[in-house]
Amino acid sequence: MSAEQAPPKGPDFSTGITPGDVPDGGMLAGHVGGDTVLLARRGAEWFAIDATCTHYHGPLGDGLVVGETVRCPWHHACFSLRTGEALGAPAVASVACWKVEQRDGKVFVREKAEAIAKPKAKARGAADKPGRIVIVGGGGAGFAAAEMLRREGFDGSLTMVSVDETAPYDRPNCSKDLLAGVAPEEWMPLQSPEFYKAQSIDLVLGTEVAAIDPKARQVTLAGGRNLPFDRLLLATGAEPVRLDIPGAGSAHVHVLRSLADSRAIIADAASAKRAVVIGGSFIGLEVAAALRARKIEVHVVAPDKRPLERVLGLELGDVVRRIHEENGVVFHLEETATAIADGKVTLKGGKVLAADLVVVGVGVRPRLQLAERAALKLDRGVVVNQYLETSAPGIYAAGDIARWPNKITGDSIRAEHWVVAQRHGQAAARNMLGQERAFTDVPFFWSQHYDMPVNYVGHAEKWDETAIEGNVAGKDCVVRYKRGGRVLAAASIYRDVANLEIEAEMEAAAL
């Protein structure tokens, strides 16, 4: 530890604590030397693991213990207290386990335990063990599936084909710290090139899959090469909706889906003075915040009465608007853009906004073309069963394209969330190996506006009541979205534990 570093918080577990310091089912964050450690208790059993999340270093001690797991307060990664394994994305790397000793009425943690080798999971269903698995798409879902397949002991051939030139990266950061200029590009890859080599994952980048033949069990790449498969995962994600107005194709008009898009906006932002963001979506507003961090004048044009009202409701919509206005964003609400020209955007109401940079964030469309041509069952997405298998046996779908049966609401839903995509990928991987595990994870997403995170759990397309706890204007609240008295979803600002508790309740109800 350097002289400038703050000493670790909490008790020093190497000198022991009394068992009563940790309630049954609870946890305590402390340290052993310079290492932060989390001590948890379930009945007579004690567990100790590293206290820092392997995703973005969230403090696990500020999260929630659920059964034998601990959930990260920031983006809900789930770690096993017993093994340290990152059971649920967005973290994929495990945390270290520590030895717990009980002596003389005290509990001590002094040294790390040996890593526990993961036993190979047994296939419950399909007797035919797949030898070749192909993943179409190198985004959140595709990456998580590949990683989980190897983690679960799949030793056959594994190919991931992506039209993206870049190996899987942290897509949500494309509109956040990377775009704001606070995060370096080194943070973006989800894994190093060595990982793919070591795991024998054949990463085929910059290559489009042109067709899937479910009967012949092969995919055809754009160049004509065929790849046979025993199991296939379709994870083609979504593409941004583009505007159909004059000037929408100009060089200074951008959409934001990929790292290349983010880089292009960053390049233009270097000389831009005034930007117009068209669309008050999460991505549009995150772009607005990132461009404000670069001291660019930002105008947001959106057809809604208040930003994000359709997803977050009236009260949170007002807070989001206020925080952007406090940071200098100018809104043009209940407005649309009708034309873009060099240096200006014309609005329907007649206003003309100066703009040397335009970013369009008006939503995305799932990429369904491959699934459609392969005659997979579609319904505003690729229809999958509870195991994430499509209408074609052996072909699974995950992420933004998949519409899956949601146990919580009883209907089928599609979501465009990073953690959902990764959890889908992980679940599909296990099911491709015959584990037959129904996907029951509760949808979760987060969004960041300056220093204000919004965490959202569940899924509510429509609700008839909101129940507010805390102080919305003071940015310390939980809003529950209910239909017929039932909580379908909840959004919170700085109430991470409450958000995790609601997730745990929904999870239990789904099981």
Ligand X SMILES: Cc1cc2nc3c(=O)[nH]c(=O)nc-3n(C[C@H](O)[C@H](O)[C@H](O)COP(=O)(O)OP(=O)(O)OC[C@H]3O[C@@H](n4cnc5c(N)ncnc54)[C@H](O)[C@@H]3O)c2cc1C
> 65, 174, 300, 392: which one contacts ligand X (CB under 6 A)?
174
Note whether 136 binds ligand X by CB under 6 A: yes
- Please, which residues have CB within 8 angstroms of residue 453's CB and are 6 or more apart in sequence? 74, 446, 447, 493, 494
Of 171 and 332, CB closest to ligand X: 171
Contact region for ligand X (CB under 6 A) — 109-117, 187-195, 403-411, 445-453? 445-453
For the bound state, the minimum distance from the C-beta of residue 69 to ligand FES, rounded and expressed in Å, comes to: 13
Contact region for ligand FES (CB under 6 A) — 50-58, 157-165, 229-237, 501-509? 50-58
Q: Which does 55 bind (CB under 5 to 8 A by kind): ligand FES, ligand X, none?
A: ligand FES
Residue 88 φ/ψ, nearest 5 degrees = -135, 135
Is the Cβ–Cβ distance between 85 and 36 less than 8 Å? no
Nearest to 403 by CA among 381, 386, 421: 381
Q: Which amino acid is at 360?
A: V
Q: Which does 74 bind (CB under 5 to 8 A by kind): ligand FES, ligand X, none?
A: ligand FES
Identify each DSSP E strand in 81-225 by its residue range.
86-88, 97-103, 106-112, 132-136, 157-161, 201-204, 209-213, 218-221
Report 410-439 residues binding ligand X (CB under 6 A). 416-419, 421
Token readout for 377 is 């069952």
Note whether 58 binds ligand FES by CB under 6 A: yes
Residue nearest to ligand X (CB): 139
**Residue 245 CB burial class (10 angstroms; 0-12, 13-18, ≥19):** middle
Q: Which does 163 bind (CB under 5 to 8 A by kind): ligand FES, ligand X, none?
A: ligand X
Identify each DSSP E strand in 151-198 by its residue range.
157-161
Query: Distance (Å, rounded) from C-alpha 317 to C-alpha 128?
Result: 51
Note whether 304 binds ligand X by CB under 6 A: no
Per DSSP, helices labelled H in 398-468 are 418-432
Residue 224 φ/ψ, nearest 5 degrees = 105, -10
Q: Which does 137 bind (CB under 5 to 8 A by kind): ligand X, ligand FES, none?
A: ligand X
Binding mask 235-264 for ligand X (x = CB under 6 A): xxxx-----------------xx-------
Note whether 56 binds ligand FES by CB under 6 A: yes
Q: How far is CA 239 from the centre of its chain?
A: 17
Q: Which amino acid is at 165?
A: E
Contact region for ligand FES (CB under 6 A) — 73-81, 188-196, 288-296, 399-407? 73-81
Query: Distance (Å, rounded) from C-alpha 280 to C-alpha 306?
Result: 8
> 69, 175, 281, 492: which one contacts ligand X (CB under 6 A)?
175
Q: Which does 161 bind (CB under 5 to 8 A by kind): ligand FES, ligand X, none?
A: ligand X
Of 93 and 375, CB closest to ligand FES: 93
> 47, 98, 387, 446: which one contacts ligand X (CB under 6 A)?
446
Q: Which conformational region is residue 416 in: left (phi greater than 0), alpha (psi within -120 to 50 degrees), or beta? A: beta
Note whether 55 binds ligand FES by CB under 6 A: yes
For the bound state, the minimum distance from the C-beta of residue 57 to ligand FES, rounded and expressed in Å, comes to: 6
- HSE of 248 in the Cβ direction (CA atoms, 13 Å)? 13
Note whether 172 binds ligand X by CB under 6 A: yes
Q: Binders of ligand X: how many residues, by CB under 6 A?
A: 36
Query: Distance (Å, rounded) from C-alpha 502 to C-alpha 467?
Result: 13
Query: Distance (Å, rounded) from C-alpha 211 to C-alpha 200?
Result: 24
Of 479 and 500, CB closest to ligand FES: 500
Note whether 90 binds ligand FES by CB under 6 A: yes
Q: Which amino acid is at 226?
A: N
Nearest to 29 by CA among 44, 8, 15, 46: 8
Q: Which residues bind ligand X (CB under 6 A)?
A: 136-142, 161-164, 171-172, 174-175, 208-209, 235-238, 256-257, 283, 367, 370, 399-400, 416-419, 421, 445-447
Q: Which residues lie near ligand FES (CB under 6 A)?
A: 53, 55-56, 58, 72, 74-75, 77, 90-91
